[in-house]
Each structure stands twice: as C-alpha cells, then as structure tokens.
Structure 1
C-alpha cells in the first residue's frame, strides 16, 4: 500500500522516539548516561520546546502515562482552568458566541510545568537543572529554524507579527524566520533555568504575577487564584480497558482517553476478523469513531465523569452500541473535528519502565500571546476546548477544565508486562489514529514501523468547539488503494482523498517482544526518529 517503511529501530536496552532528531538524541543520551525513562522524557520535553515551538511549550499542557518495572501504571494530567471571571455571562457581555482562538481570552492556565514537576517527583533520577540545561543553552545560542517552524510562522504570520514577543524571535523587523536562521531566545533560556530550579514559581512567583497582569491588561478576567491553583498536579490512576487480549492504559479526564477505550470495545474481535486495512475494517473503525464523537459532544465535560465517560463505558451501553454497529443502525448527531498542533515522545529504559508523554499549545503557537520578558507563549486551550452552549457539561465556567484532545497510552498483558507504548499528536485525529495504531499492532501483528507508516484515515467532524456541525467526511490518504476507497464509498462514506502521508499526526511507537527486545519507529509524516541504547 505504502512504499515499504523503514525497518524499526532495535535495542536490547533502552529506547526513545520523538518527532525531532535532536529531541530523540537528548533522550537517548540521558538513557546512555544511566538515566531512566522519566529522565529521558523530561530531557526530550525541554528540547521540543525549541525544536517544535509552534506545537508545544512551557505555556501549554502536558499528559503522561508511566508503567513501572513492577507493572504499576500511573498518569500525570497537566491542564488548567480558565479565568475565575470567565462566566458565561462574561462572554455573552462581550457579544461572543464562541471563545476566541487567539489572544488573552483564549488562554487557560498552563498545566505543563506542574505536570512535568509531578512526573519528575514520580521517579526521576536526575535533577531538573541537569535535564533542562541543554535546552536552556540551546535557547541562549539559538537553534537554526527548521522547515516545520518556518511553516508554522508562515501559517500564523499575522498573529506572530502582532505579538511583540513572537515577532522579536520569529519575525524581527517584519521579516519572517527563514530555514536555517538561528533563533536565539535569551529570555526563554532564563525562564527554563528558573523553572528548573523552582517549578512552582510559574504559578505563585514573579512569572505568575507577570502572566496574570498581562492577561488582565488584555481583557481576560483572571484573578490570579486560578493561576495558583494550577500548581496542584498529583499522580492519578490510568483508565483501562481490554482489547485483543491485552490491557489498554489511558489518560483520564479531561483527556479523551476514554474515547479510545470506547472504540476498542466497539471493535474488539471485529477488526481481527477483517483483512488489514480492508474496507470492512476501516468502515467499522470510522463508524465507531463517529459514535464516540457524538457521545463526547452530547454527554461529556471534564467534571461529570459519572454521567459522562463512566456512563459511556458501561458494559450495557457498549453492548447496545456494538449491536447498532453490527446492524448499521447507529444514531448520528452534530459533531466536529479539527486538527491541532501537538508533539509527543515515548521512552523505555533497561528496567522496563515506560513513559508515553504528550504536550501541546493547542493550535499553532497557541493563543499567539507571550508573557512579556519571559519568552513563554501561552496556549489557547480554553478557546479550543470550551463551549458557549448553555447548560452543556463542557460549557465554560470558573474552575471547570475544558475538554482536551491530548491522550497517551500504554499496552500491557494481564500480568502487567509491557507490550507497547505509543501516542500521536493531531487534535481530534488522535483518538482515531491511536485506535488504528493499536489495531495494527494487536489485530494484525504489524511492527512499529509498519504501524506508524500505514495509510491513515480520519472521520471529520469530531467535537472541537470551533467547527461543530460541519458536514460528514471520511478523509483517507492516497496510499489507501483505489479499490478499497471505492468499497468505502459504496458503504456510504463521503470520501476526501488526502496526499500520501498527508493526514497529519506524528506517531511514536516502541514495542517489546517475548525476548525483551525493543523495536521502535517514528512517523514518516514528520522528521522524527527512534533511537535505541544498549
């Protein structure tokens, strides 16, 4: 279907994979120096702030799933609240029918610093100053602008030029950054060093005062109390489900990890009986994804677990939905999917500790709004994730976190032994592509390289706030054979063909075989690489 993928990287020791070679190298160096998978993840996170600045940053959100050598699995979930004054009446008084996607009103309290600190406290063996000093040094000297970053700057050119902090780095004197030009960021270097010494200072120190003052000056009704509350991130249990005889571990609310578990329950046993990437298999995955997005839009908020995600995953309801899918009588509803700008990493160390990590600014360069004098770009998660729909469980209100698109996963056997660790960025595509990756691995025995390179397909729309109600599409990459596409059209799908490897995402996978040998691969849709350490 595609050209043969590159063979997976192999290792009998540790392994990392990310969407940029420099980040992977940083993680591999930490493992080679005796650090563990948490250390490697933290090092890669710091590098990606520089290598993929449109996708992630200190001012964004972050989530992780960690599998310990004894089989225990835990998560960290770093996302924050919108402003305490951000009531429905406030936005109505502004004449808004949706929260803006750019500027101070789009911002939620960043969860990434608190999540990274919690991840570090959960089992790192190296200090944060040691792990982040390479990133601070590179920020000070300036990393050459990559093609991806130049493209992101071009995509958001007007907003980049309008923000003094962004313009100073990426469009000085009105000239957009070109590939290869060094981008020194001394203010960001200083922030990274300060954050490494005292992560909580992001929420209660000088940085917090600057951030809240800048947001207030821009019209966002932050009090400062909600910002301080963002410092509280404690480890949580993963949400789990079963698929193809294995156990899936996912990030809990406000992430859509439950959506992957729902799709898994609706597809278990069905996809294994279908040929790999056949019309029948794709049809089932697409219809299961649509049901999941309908449920997300209709029922879910971040704080109504019992009536939302838990209810959706009850055995009785899943059984009824399976019967509807089998009979092709499932109910459709208004849903919407949009892409997003995110990046992710995976790491496994020689002890079998595994980390699936993902972080994001939401859309490219987030809210396109920097905290003056810090180099930190703030996210636009509130604008992307919260609704202005009266009474909806995801309606914006103080101390309610907006729903997220980010999720991360690990697969083990029943005894807790590691089988696979993976993830992908890609907005509402994430929960679909993650399910596809899991099926490629568990139903069809594909190796990581085959799984990440396989033709990708995406139901549109999903449930992002800015595109609710768009017409149904099934977007498929051109590498999917024409005969399969024709069958899908007969089955009632409205197809939109995308270029080969044009669907988006940047999947990362590491698998463990029965001998304990690691195999890993990075998605060819970006310039990432998997590296093994012996």
Structure 2
C-alpha cells in the first residue's frame, strides 16, 4: 500500500490536526509536561487563528475524551437555538429556510466554553499557559495558508460593501491575504489578553481563573459585544438585512455539559460517537448494515458501502435531531439493520428510503420531500463539491470547511475534537473581539414536528462528529475529519481500512488508511443551506482505479471522478494497549494537516 509518509510511532505523545501550527503547539504543551487535554485546548485556540475560514471561538466543538483508566465521555460543545429563535419568527420574515449566513443563523456559541470545561476538569495547565500560542500567532502573525485568501476573495464584494468590519481584518490595504504572507489579528490577541488579565484578577487558583474566564464569556465584555453584534441588522444569504435572536440572556444561561457516548460493537471493536443531535450514530448505522462476509476492497465493497450510506443517511434525515425523542436503540438493533440490509440490491438506488424502527412511521419535511422528488430549484442545492462544510457568502454559495484534532499522551489520555463554525465568511467580524458569530442554526428546519425542527433551547443537528474506538473496553484510536455530510463517510472508510487490513510494523496502519483512495455520496439532503441533494451520486478520487470506477458505473451509480487527492482530511492517533506504543497519521490532502510526536 502506497503511503505519503510513515505512521509515526513513539512513547511520549502524539498529535494530529488539520494545521501544522496547531499540531506543533499541542506538541509543545506535551513537551512542557502538559497532558493530552492541555494540548488539545492549546491546539484548538491556535486553529481559531490559523484556520479562521474553518472555525472560530463563537462556533462549536463536539469532543470525545477518554481519561487514562476512565470511561469515554462526550463533551457536547454544540450550543442550542436562542430563546427567540422560533419557527414563527423566521417564517414571519418570509423565510422558508434559515439563512446560511448572518445573525439569524447564529446558535448560542459553544466552542469557547467546551474548551474551558475540558481544561478545568481534565487539564493541568493555566489559562495563560494554553492561550499563549494563539495569542502569539494572532499578535505577531502566522503565514496564511492558500485557502484563507481564496475564501476572502469569494466574499470580497460583501466585505467591501456590507461587512466592513471583516474587511478591516481580511482585506487590509484592499487585498486578501497572500499565501505565506503574515496574517495578524490584533483584536483577537487583545481579546484573549484581556480575558487572561480579568481571570487572573479573580484569584490565584487554576480552576478559579478558568471559571472567571467562563463568566467573562457569558456575562462580561465578550458577551456584551456578541449580543450587540447579533442584534445588528446584517445582510445575509436571503438577500436582505436581518437582526438575529441571540441575546445576552441566552449567553448567560448556557453551559457546556457531558454526555455518555453512543457506542456500537463491531468485529471486536467498540466505536463511540456523540448522540443523535450530531450525525455520529450514522457512522454506527453504516457499521451495523455491513454484511459479515465483507472483504476490504473486494468487488462488492464500494457498492455495498455506498448503498449502506444512503440508508443510514435517510434515517438520519427522518429520525435524528434534538427536538424529539430518537429511537436510537431500534436504529442500531440487529433485527432492524438486517431488514435494512436486505434493501441493498445489485444496482444503485436513487430513492431516499428511511426505515420504520420499532414500527414507527417516518416523517420527512416538505423541503426534503421536494428535494427527493427532484423539484427544480430545490434539488440542485449545494451538494456535490465534497471538500467540506458548505457555507454561504452574500447571496450566493461558497465553500467553507471544518477542523479536526486528536491527541494521545504517555499516560494514555486520549481526545478527539472537531472544531467548526464561526467562519470568517459566516458573519461580520465583531470589531472589538476579532471574530464573528456562527451559523449552525441553518441546519434546523422551519417546519414544526420534525426531529430537527428549529426549537428554542434545543440544538440544531450538527454534522460535527469526532470518533473514538476501543478494543476490549480500552481506548485504542481517536480520529476524525472535516467535511460536513461527508465526515461519517470518510471516517468510516478510514476506520474500515484500519480494521480490515493487516497491521504494519507491529502497529495499526493509520497513515495507509488515511492515504487510501476515498469517496462520498450526496444521495441525501445536504445539512447546509440551500439543502440540495444528488440522487445516485458518488464522487470518487481518480486513484480509486479504472476497474472500481467502471464497476460502480455498471451498477448504475452516477459517478463523478475528482482529483487524485480530493476526498477527506483525516487525522488519527492511537495507542497500543499491550505495548503502550503511541501512533499517529496526518492527512496529505490540502497540504495542511500534519501529525507530530515522539
């Protein structure tokens, strides 16, 4: 198997993330004696600085963690809809979908609080210790990656005419950041310096200072600035200016909490995911749908996986959300998945086919029914690019994405996190803070009675979905990828490449599994505005090979052949429970992701 680099192996610590500076910062924390959780927090804040087109402090970050000797937990870093975010309010504005940009799409921010809770409960370092890397890069600059400037160019007119506070940061001198040019964000550096100063003034204890920082975010100068920005009428993807629903009361009332993961056993592995407020259980459903005799890369392999993805994602659309009870036990039960598996035929399905777990009747929203029926101007939507989470600029569509990071330390602590939202192209930069609000509410429906209906106090169903895998109840591997609706496709393909192939050099072949040719299908409604789909579609890397591509076409799949390295941005770390050897692999796609360790 060709690999772009070796799977790293060592005993001190391993980090993999979507940006080399985040990976290096996390490793610096490990070298300084910090643990995996300290390192993850430091890397998370660096990602806000160096990948501002992919995530920000006012976004979200679901986290799965496994303390050494402890049980896996989910830190549910996804904020709910504000109390004023009612369906009636949005429809009274003449909207049938939540806009893809602007303050109407802003959920209660959750990323900052999630990182703080992780640091407080599981870390060992102070707030100042973990923030110093992000402060340094924001204040003194970091070499901009290619996609920052390219993203800014897609929203140049909007920034120049409407979102002028964003232009002040990202169009200095009238031009977007050039690749390799130092990009600074003094306002963000100032925000974190003031936060540290106010938290240190609250007392000398580490936890005391972290709690003080959380109060500043919820009730202090940061909350005041966010609430003021949310109330400001702003041009959004509807083509009109709207104020949002987020208020200071919403910010003050929200705190991130812990949940038990959803787990599924397969072939000697136990995979843990966030609950059905995320799309995480769709990964587990895809596993449950696999036939027992599946052979890696055999003649039926890709066809069976594509068809299983369609079934799992149809169930995601019909049953997942935070606004209603989700029949998760039935969705993952052997009997139900045996019935669903029987629907996989020899040829590609072009239908959206949710099931009836426990005899329940599935209900799809009106927009979804139109999309599935191919109604013009509804079905086309934004599906198909396959490179990440779609976000919307001005009144058209551009592409955003997400980040991911994994860390394992010498003590066996392990964490996987998928930061996203609060993109530079999602909302105007709050001038006093240096970052914008997020847009996660675009994933909720403006139709009552659905599991993912917009509901005050309830989370919009997110696509963010880190993964943790165990053997014999011992955490072995943390992994994940950016990619919106593609995340639990690309991650599944990576996992199967690890689980079904022979280990290398005495360890799991993480790098070979990351480098393996990947693909995705858009044969279900997109989670992002304007919520389109492409029935029967499969988008593959050209490296999949002529024979595999021809076989998919023979079976009736609508195949689009993309570039050789165009699908997925996976990160992974692992720990051999028998030897204690640590492993990591980094993603070569996009020339940005790196693993480090020793």
Please report the TM-score for the alignment, with normalisation by the length of structure 2.
Answer: 0.83
**Which whole-Å CA distance do the structure 2 matches of 1:344 and 1:36 have between them?**
18
Instruction: Please give the per-residue CA displacement for 1:384-412, whole angstroms capped at 9, x wherever unaligned.
Output: x1112332221212112111000111111
Q: Does the CA-based 8 Å contact 2:346-2:555 persist in structure 1?
A: no
Instruction: Using the TM superposition, give the Cα deviation of residue 424 of structure 1 relative to its aligned residue in structure 2, in angstroms.
Output: 0.6
Equivalent in the alignment of 1:377: 436
What is the CA–CA distance in structure 1 between the aligned matches of 2:43 and 2:12, rounded to whole Å?
Answer: 18
Alignment partner of 2:569 out of 500, 506, 509: 506
Task: Confirm or deny: 8 A CA contact 2:347 2:557 kept in the other structure.
Answer: no
CA apart distance, 1:28 = 0.9
Q: Which has the higher mean CA deviation after the structures are superposed, 120-129 or 386-395?
A: 386-395
Report the 3-state secondary structure (helix = DSSP H, G, I; strand = E; otherwise coil) of the residue aligned with 2:342: helix
Determine the structure 2 residue equivalent to 1:300.
320
Q: SS at the partner of 1:60?
A: coil
Distance in 1 separating the partners of 2:72 and 2:10: 23
- Kept in 2, the 8 Å contact 1:77–1:233? The answer is yes
Structure 1 window deviating more from structure 2 (185-194 vs 331-340): it is 331-340
Asked if 1:168 is matched to 2:175, the reply is no
Does the 8 A contact of 2:524 with 2:535 survive in 1?
no
Mapped to 1, the partners of 2:489 and 2:548 lie a distance apart of 19
Residues 1:440 and 2:497 aligned together: yes
| Structure 1 residues 71 and 440, CA gap change in structure 2 (3 angstroms) | farther
Q: Equivalences for 1:455-470 in 2 at 5 Å?
A: 455-463=517-525, 464-465=527-528, 466-470=530-534
How many angstroms does 1:53 deviate by?
A: 0.9
**Counterpart for residue 231 of structure 2:** 216
Could you tell me which residue of structure 2 aligns to residue 41 of structure 1? 40
Give the Cα–Cα distance (whole angstroms) in 2 for the partners of residues 200 and 288 of structure 1. 45
Tell whether 2:417 aligns with 1:397: no
**Do the aligned residues in 2 keep the contact of 1:54 with 1:366 (CA within 8 Å)?**
yes
Matching of residues 331-370 of structure 1 within 5 Å: 332-333=352-353, 339-340=388-389, 341-361=401-421, 364-370=423-429
Distance 2:185 2:165 in 1: 10
> Partners in 2 of 1:270 and 1:332 — Cα distance?
26
**Residues of 2 paired with 1:202 and 1:366: CA distance?**
22
Q: Note closer, same or farther for the CA distance 1:519–1:205 as it changes in structure 2 (3 Å cut).
A: same
The answer as to whether partners of 1:67 and 1:355 remain within 8 angstroms in 2 is: yes
Tell me the distance in 2 between the aligned counterparts of 1:523 and 1:168: 32
**Alpha carbons of structure 1 residues 28 and 469: separation in structure 2 relative to 1, 3 Å:** closer
The 10-residue stretch of structure 1 (433-442 or 187-196) with the greater mean CA deviation from structure 2: 187-196
Runs of 5+ consecutive residues of structure 1 not aligned to the other structure: none
2:445 and 2:106 map into 1 onto residues whose CA distance is 14
Q: Which moved more, 1:168-177 or 1:254-263?
A: 168-177
Aligned to 1:287: 307
Alpha-carbon spacing, 1:483–1:327, altered in 2? closer, same or farther (3 Å): closer
SS for the counterpart of 2:454 is: coil
Whether the 8 Å CA contact 1:449–1:520 is kept in 2: the answer is yes
Q: What residue is the counterpart of 2:214 in the other structure?
A: 199
Q: Secondary structure at the match of 1:226?
A: helix
Structure 1 residue 300, shift from structure 2 partner: 2.0
Q: How does 1:69-148 map to 2 (within 5 A)?
A: 69-148=68-147
CA contact (8 A) 1:107 1:367 kept: no
**Structure 1 residue 313 displacement after superposition:** 2.2
Would the aligned equivalents of 1:286 and 1:459 in 2 still touch at CA under 8 Å?
yes
Mark the CA change 1:90 to 1:488 in structure 2 (over 3 Å): closer, same or farther: same
Q: What residue in structure 2 maps to residue 530 of structure 1?
A: 595
Distance 1:229 1:159 in 2: 33
Contact 2:68 2:412 in 1 (8 A): yes
Aligned-partner Cα distance in 2 for 1:462–1:191? 41
Residue 495 of structure 1 is aligned with which of 556, 559, 581? 559
The reply to whether residue 241 of structure 1 matches residue 298 of structure 2 is: no
The answer for the alignment partner of 1:430 in structure 2 is 487
In 2, distance between residues paired with 1:351 and 1:268? 37
Using the TM superposition, name which of 333-342 and 92-101 deviates more.
333-342
The answer to whether the 8 A contact 1:279-1:485 is kept is no
Give the TM-score normalised by the residue count of structure 1: 0.93
Provide closer, same or farther for how the CA distance between residues 235 and 93 of structure 1 changes in structure 2, counting only shifts above 3 A. same
Aligned counterparts of 1:113 and 1:36: Cα–Cα separation in 2: 19
Contact 1:394 1:402 in 2 (8 A): yes
The secondary structure found in structure 1 opposite 2:122 is coil
Looking at structure 2, the residues matched to 137 and 458 of structure 1 have their Cα atoms a distance apart, in angstroms, of: 38
Contact 2:480-2:570 at 8 Å conserved across structures: yes
Distance 1:244 1:268, change over 3 A: farther
For residues 433 and 291 of structure 2, the distance between their equivalents in structure 1, rounded to whole angstroms, comes to 48
Q: Please state if 1:257 is matched with 2:250.
A: no
